[in-house]
Amino acid sequence: MRVYQNVLEMIGETPMVKVSHIDTGPCELYLKLENLNPGGSIKDRIAVSMIEAAEQAGKLKPGMTIIEATAGNTGLGLALVAASKGYPLQIVMPDKMSAEKVNNLKAMGAEVVQTRSDVQKGHPEYYQDMAARMAQENGYFYVNQFANEANVTAHYETTGPEIWQQMQGDLDAFVCGVGSGGTLTGIGRYLRKQNTAIDLVLADPEGSILEPLVNRNETVEAGSWLAEGIGEDFIPDICDIKLANKAYAVSDKEGFHTARELLVKEGVMVGSSSGTLIAAALRYCREQTEAKRVVTLACDTGNRYLSKLYNDEWMAAQNLLEE
Ligand X SMILES: Cc1ncc(COP(=O)(O)O)c(C=O)c1O
Report the site for ligand X in 16-55 (rule: CB under 6 A): 41, 43
179 interacts with ligand X by CB under 6 A: yes
The strand pairing partners of 301, in sequence order, are 270
In the annotation, is 43 catalytic?
yes
CB nearer ligand X, residue 39 or residue 177: 177
The strand pairing partners of 247, in sequence order, are 202
Of 13, 11, 14, which Cα lies nearest the Cα of 50? 11
Site for ligand X (CB under 6 A): how many residues? 20
Of 241, 242, 239, 163, which Cα lies nearest the Cα of 195? 163
The bridge status of strand 293-298 relative to strand 111-115 is: unpaired
Of 116, 122, 132, 148, which Cα lies nearest the Cα of 46? 148
CB nearer ligand X, residue 24 or residue 273: 273
Q: Residues 1-14, buried b or exposed e (16+ Cβ, 10 A)?
A: eeeeeeebebbbeb
| Options 108-116, 160-168, 177-185, 192-200: segment touching ligand X (CB under 6 A) | 177-185
| Options 105-113, 176-184, 191-199, 208-216: segment touching ligand X (CB under 6 A) | 176-184
Residue 257 CB neighbours (<10 A): 18
77 interacts with ligand X by CB under 6 A: no
Using an 8 Å Cβ cutoff, are 68 and 45 in contact?
A: no
180 interacts with ligand X by CB under 6 A: yes
Mask 96-135, x = binds ligand X (CB under 6 A)?
----------------------------------------
| Options 12-20, 115-123, 180-188, 247-255: segment touching ligand X (CB under 6 A) | 180-188
CB of 139 to ligand X, least distance (A): 26
DSSP, collapsed to helix, strand or coil, labels residue 67 as strand
Mask 225-244, x = binds ligand X (CB under 6 A)?
---xxx--------------
CB nearer ligand X, residue 74 or residue 128: 74
Report the site for ligand X in 271-300 (rule: CB under 6 A): 271, 273, 299-300
177 interacts with ligand X by CB under 6 A: yes
Report the site for ligand X in 52-71 (rule: CB under 6 A): 71
Q: Catalytic residue among 43, 101, 253, 308, which?
A: 43
How far CA 53 is from CA of 47, 57, 63, 179, 193, in Å, comes to 10, 6, 16, 21, 24
Among 144, 148, 183, 208, binds ligand X (CB under 6 A): 183
DSSP, collapsed to helix, strand or coil, labels residue 3 as coil
As annotated, the active-site residues are 43
